[in-house]
A = this chain, B = another copy of it.
């Protein structure tokens, strides 16, 4: 079960709330980037960034110099939101237009990862989330690179999940209107891998990358 703090208990669109922890994992695991919200000088700052999940911990990373990471490390709360836009809901009235989506919001005070083993595991999770198989296939980080990369751990304790799917919900009297109604689905697909022109050796696209391009997220 997910948490039931006031801000993760949905008041609006209550029928869209999911309360199962597996729903949270599903939304997070299907994502590539999140939007990280921090407060800097009293103002919100929302930055897109990578993330990874191990169990009930979300890892985010960044240069030790980045303002968003500094804010996230200073003991303040952050909000991490992952959103999948699945379609545009075309209703019979302007008012009932909507989108189909899956989204997760996580609140918490992130912990700075000091332990070298967890630091590495967090980076691995972040890398594998974006690029599965690449951790083992490419040059591992040096000590200098590790030192330049801060990793923050955020507990998935306080989280909410919202999902909207299906056709529009129109006002009763509007169903008779001669207006096309339905959903225009959105799909995210992979294009063909584009080799780096600077590649010196004649290297084939490895299976862990090639196999990905035939899947649809």
Contacts and interface: CB of A to CB of B under 8 A. Distances in A.
Interface in A138-176: 138-142, 145, 149, 167-168, 174-176
Contacts of A178: 201, 203
B139 A43 contact: no
Interface stretch (A18-26, A30-38, A52-60, A111-119): A30-38
Contacts of A42: 39, 77
A46 interface: yes
Main secondary structure of the interface of A (DSSP, over half): mixed
B203 A180 contact: yes
A27 to B, nearest CB: 12
B186 A43 contact: no
B37 A37 contact: yes
Given A139-B174, A186-B188, A48 B83 contact: yes
Contact of A167 (B66, B77, B123, B198): B198
Given A81-B48, A199-B180, A138 B92 contact: yes
Q: Which 7 A-B pairs have the closest CB atoms?
A: A185-B191, A37-B44, A37-B46, A167-B196, A93-B139, A35-B35, A46-B81
Given A44-B79, A45-B79, A184-B191, 11 more contacts: A32-B88, A32-B186, A37-B44, A44-B77, A48-B101, A91-B138, A93-B141, A97-B131, A176-B201, A184-B212, A188-B188
Interface of A: 7, 11-12, 32-33, 35-40, 42-48, 50, 63, 65-67, 76-81, 83, 85, 87-88, 90-95, 97, 99, 101, 103, 105, 107, 123, 127, 130-131, 134-135, 137-142, 145, 149, 167-168, 174-201, 203-206, 209, 212-213
